């Protein structure tokens, strides 16, 4: 079983009870297809960045679930077939990497700022004539 995240936007004309009812019906459909609901979040009406199906706001619902790969297409078609759903997105959730592995980085070697650059060690200034001679040699 893989982890999935289903995000969908419900129409703004629904009441909060109807939004809960729609979310529950979609979750029960997922469970009927042998899926396991891990987490579900519902938000209040939010203004959309651009109109979707001539609607400027909607209720966002995010459901995380586990299901077999062959059942996911049925879930997606069921959600898209619901007339109150304005838009939906179904993505595969990758497992979270452990933070301990990231914390065990080796410290970098200390930088010694007391060292002097090469030009300063010589104490000499570059002569333009010598540079021009070297360039002529390289170009010819």
pLDDT per residue as tens digits for the range 75-103: 999 999 989 999 999 999 887 665 555 55
Nearest residue to 84 (alpha-carbon basis) of 21, 5, 6, 2? 21
pLDDT band for position 124 (50/70/90)? low
Domain that holds residue 79: 2-92
Pairing of strands 2-10, 36-52: unpaired
- Per DSSP, the residues of 72-105 read HHHHHHHHHH-TTEEEEEEEEPPPPPPHHHHHTP
pLDDT band for position 62 (50/70/90)? very high
Q: How many domains in the chain?
A: 1
CATH number at residue 10: 3.30.70.60
Query: Which residues in the chain belong to E strands, given as ranges?
Result: 2-10, 36-52, 55-67, 85-92
**38 lies in some domain:** yes
Nearest residue to 19 (alpha-carbon basis) of 51, 42, 46, 49? 42
**101 lies in some domain:** no
Are 71 and 34 contacting, i.e. CB atoms less than 8 angstroms apart?
A: yes
**Residue 118 scores a pLDDT above 90:** no
- Output 126 or 54, whichever has higher pLDDT: 54
Count the alpha carbons within 13 Å of 52 in the hemisphere toward its beta carbon: 18
pTM: 0.64
**66 lies in some domain:** yes
- Output 105 or 75, whichever has higher pLDDT: 75
**117 lies in some domain:** no
**Residue 113 scores a pLDDT above 90:** no
**25 lies in some domain:** yes
């Amino acid at each position: 079983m893989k982890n999935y995240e289903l995000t969908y936007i419900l129409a703004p004309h629904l009441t909060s009870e109807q939004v809960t009812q729609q979310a529950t019906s979609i979750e029960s459909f997922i469970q009927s297809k042998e899926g396991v609901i891990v987490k579900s979040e519902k938000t209040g009406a939010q203004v959309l960045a651009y109109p979707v199906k001539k609607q400027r706001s909607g209720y966002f619902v995010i459901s995380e679930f586990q299901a077999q790969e062959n059942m996911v297409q049925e879930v997606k078609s069921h959600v898209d077939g619901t007339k109150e759903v304005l838009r939906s997105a179904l993505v595969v959730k990758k497992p979270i990497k452990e933070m301990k592995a990231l914390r065990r980085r080796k410290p970098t070697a200390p930088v010694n700022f007391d060292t002097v650059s090469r030009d300063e060690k010589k104490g000499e200034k570059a002569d333009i004539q010598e540079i021009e001679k070297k360039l002529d040699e390289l170009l010819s």
